[in-house]
Structure 1
Amino acid sequence: MASLKEVRNRIVSVNSTQQITKAMKMVAAAKLRRAQDNIIQMRPYAQKLNEMLLTVSAGSESSVDSPLKAVRPVERVLIVVVTSDRGLCGAFNTNIIKATLQLIENKYAAQAKKGQVEIFTIGKKGAESFARRGFKVHGQFTDTYSRLSFVTVKEAAEEIMKGYTNGTFDAVELVFNEFKNVATQIIHTDPYLPIVAEDTASSAKKPEVNYSFEPTEEEILTELIPKSLKIQLYRAVLESNASEQGARMTAMDKATENAQELLKELKLIYNRTRQAAITTEILEIVGGAEALKN
């Protein structure tokens, strides 16, 4: 049985840990509110921009030749992985890394054997994990969330588009967590490049509309396609940021509950040990008194 001092030290340690997890939960809750507001405001804009791109593409009479729409045989693959910069958020990063490895195994196993699958990471945890696994990390944006803005994410999107345009990669996939609620994050593995035209079967159901373009169709799509890709990546980062704070809030809440349960057990052990020590002392005093009488 542990001594009273050892149990007392453990109680102090667990109590300090519980205070830290409570504080981290409160900080995550405050950050979650801001992150949730940002993603709620961004979703309608991103969806409308994507609809506009599809509408203009469907209504155009001629096909605009964009290097971002060029479909090539898939030899070299870039996977954009959005993780967090810090841990203590449960299985948030682990699930993203597992989903990425599963995507490579199921879809790009042949390219992976040739060493032609590269990782582009947004978030320090993803960069560290894939570097340890021997993957070539093409680009990494760390400390993104400390200065999260469209300008910062736009630089990453431009670098990805540049790699596809100059033929460094033949396909780009995007893996991220979509925020649903505090306890639930939905993992997405979405094709990012090339831009695939809308399914003809679904577009055939839409009524035929004649569009007049001002400025020209080419100018509109040339401007709209890169902007849509930047917004798509920015939305993924905002979704991941909100998901991270939700996962951290949940993890810290569970840690606080576990610390409370552990404190109850330690206090019970402490009381039992203290009672045993007092009983032993009483027995020694009684034994000593009896010896003096004799």
Structure 2
Amino acid sequence: MASLKDIRTRIDSVKTTRQVTSAMKMVSAAKLKKAQDDIVKIRPYAEKLNDIIYDIISSLEEGHQLKLTEERDLEKVLIVMITSNRGLCGAFNSNVSKEVNKLLNTDFSDLHQQSKVDVMSIGKQGEKLLKTAGTLCAISNNAVYSDIAFHNVELISDQIIIDFLNKKYDKVILVYNEFVNAAVQNVSAKQFLPIELPKIDVNQTSDYIYEPSMNAVLEDIVPKSLKTMFFSSILESIASEHGARMTSMHKATDNASELISDLELSYNKARQGAITNEILEIVGGAEALSQ
């Protein structure tokens, strides 16, 4: 049985841990609020861009093919894995890593065995987890988290678009955590390129007037929509990370409080037992002297 000093030391240690996890929870809650605001701002813009693109596609002449919507035989695939640079956020990173491994071993297993699937990491934690599973990332863009701004993220999406147009990759998949709320994040694997278009209603009428021309607008707006989608995915991942960390630290704080209660109960029992033994020794000594 642990001594009273050992139990006191452990109680102090757990209390210190609880202070740390509680502070991390509050920091994540503050960051989550900003991240949620960023998502709320960008979602309507991204949705409107897509609406315009779909409207233009529905108005194009039959047989007109966009380069960024071109379906090709798969020779090489790029998987973009978006995780975080920091840990202590529960299963946030491991869930994304599992989804990437699932894609490598099921959907693209043949290409993966032929080394025709590249993985780009955005986030150190995902890269570490994938390396542990035996897969090395061909490209790392972990430094982007040092300054999350559209112009920095745009550089990455621009290069991906160029690689697709140059036929370096025939398909690009984004794997990341989609933000639902602070407690729920859903792993999403979305096709980034080629662009997946919905079925077009041939009877749909356009509500837009295009200047200088429909094709000119399309050439400008489609890459912009892709860049916005890529940036939005990173913002979703950031919000999910803060939500996951806040939830994880909340649980850790609660667990620490429960552990402290259990330790204090053990301490009181041990202390009571020690006092009882001392009383018994005094009584025993007094009886011995009286005889």
TM-score, normalization by structure 2: 0.93
Distance 1:290 1:130, change over 3 A: same
Unaligned 5+ segments in structure 2 are none
Query: 2:78 aligned with 1:78, yes or no?
Result: yes
| Match among 222, 225, 229 for residue 222 of structure 2 | 225
Query: 2:16 aligned with 1:19, yes or no?
Result: no
Whole-angstrom distance in 1 between the partners of 2:128 and 2:173? 19
Report deviation, 1:189: 1.0
* Cross-structure match for 1:57: 57
What aligned pairs does 1:87-98 form with structure 2 within 5 A after superposition? 87-98=87-98
- Secondary structure at the aligned position of 1:174 is classed as strand
Report deviation, 1:180: 1.1
1:193 maps to a residue whose letter is L
- Secondary structure at the aligned position of 1:144 is classed as helix
Query: 2:248 aligned with 1:271, yes or no?
Result: no
Contact 1:53/1:225, CA 8 A, preserved across alignment: yes
Report deviation, 1:158: 1.3
Whole-angstrom distance in 2 between the partners of 1:245 and 1:148? 15
What aligned pairs does 1:140-289 form with structure 2 within 5 A after superposition? 140-200=140-200, 203-204=201-202, 206-209=203-206, 213-289=210-286
Whole-angstrom distance in 2 between the partners of 1:54 and 1:280? 83
Question: Which one is further off, 43-52 or 132-141?
Answer: 132-141
Report deviation, 1:211: 6.7
Measured on the aligned residues, the alpha-carbon RMSD in Å equals 1.9
Whole-angstrom distance in 1 between the partners of 2:209 and 2:252? 60
- Secondary structure at the aligned position of 2:137 is classed as strand
The share of aligned pairs that are identical, in percent, is 44
Distance 1:17 1:210, change over 3 A: closer
2:274 maps to a residue whose letter is A
Whole-angstrom distance in 1 between the partners of 2:88 and 2:60? 49
Report deviation, 1:219: 2.1
Contact 2:127/2:136, CA 8 A, preserved across alignment: no
Report deviation, 1:212: 5.5
Distance 1:211 1:242, change over 3 A: closer
2:108 maps to a residue whose letter is Y
Question: Which one is further off, 50-59 or 98-107?
Answer: 98-107
Unaligned 5+ segments in structure 1 are none
Contact 1:154/1:230, CA 8 A, preserved across alignment: yes
Contact 1:124/1:143, CA 8 A, preserved across alignment: no
Whole-angstrom distance in 1 between the partners of 2:197 and 2:269? 72
Report deviation, 1:289: 2.6
Report deviation, 1:190: 0.9
Contact 2:55/2:206, CA 8 A, preserved across alignment: no
Question: Which one is further off, 122-131 or 209-218?
Answer: 209-218
Contact 2:173/2:191, CA 8 A, preserved across alignment: yes
* Cross-structure match for 1:293: 290
Report deviation, 1:209: 4.3
Question: Which one is further off, 284-293 or 39-48?
Answer: 284-293
- Secondary structure at the aligned position of 2:84 is classed as coil
What aligned pairs does 1:98-177 form with structure 2 within 5 A after superposition? 98-177=98-177
Report deviation, 1:210: 9.0
Whole-angstrom distance in 1 between the partners of 2:264 and 2:206? 75
Whole-angstrom distance in 1 between the partners of 2:258 and 2:143? 35
Whole-angstrom distance in 1 between the partners of 2:207 and 2:147? 44
Contact 1:64/1:221, CA 8 A, preserved across alignment: no
Report deviation, 1:290: 2.7
Aligned length, in residue pairs:
291
TM-score, normalization by structure 1: 0.92
Question: Which one is further off, 1-10 or 141-150?
Answer: 141-150
Distance 1:59 1:211, change over 3 A: farther
Whole-angstrom distance in 2 between the partners of 1:63 and 1:160? 26
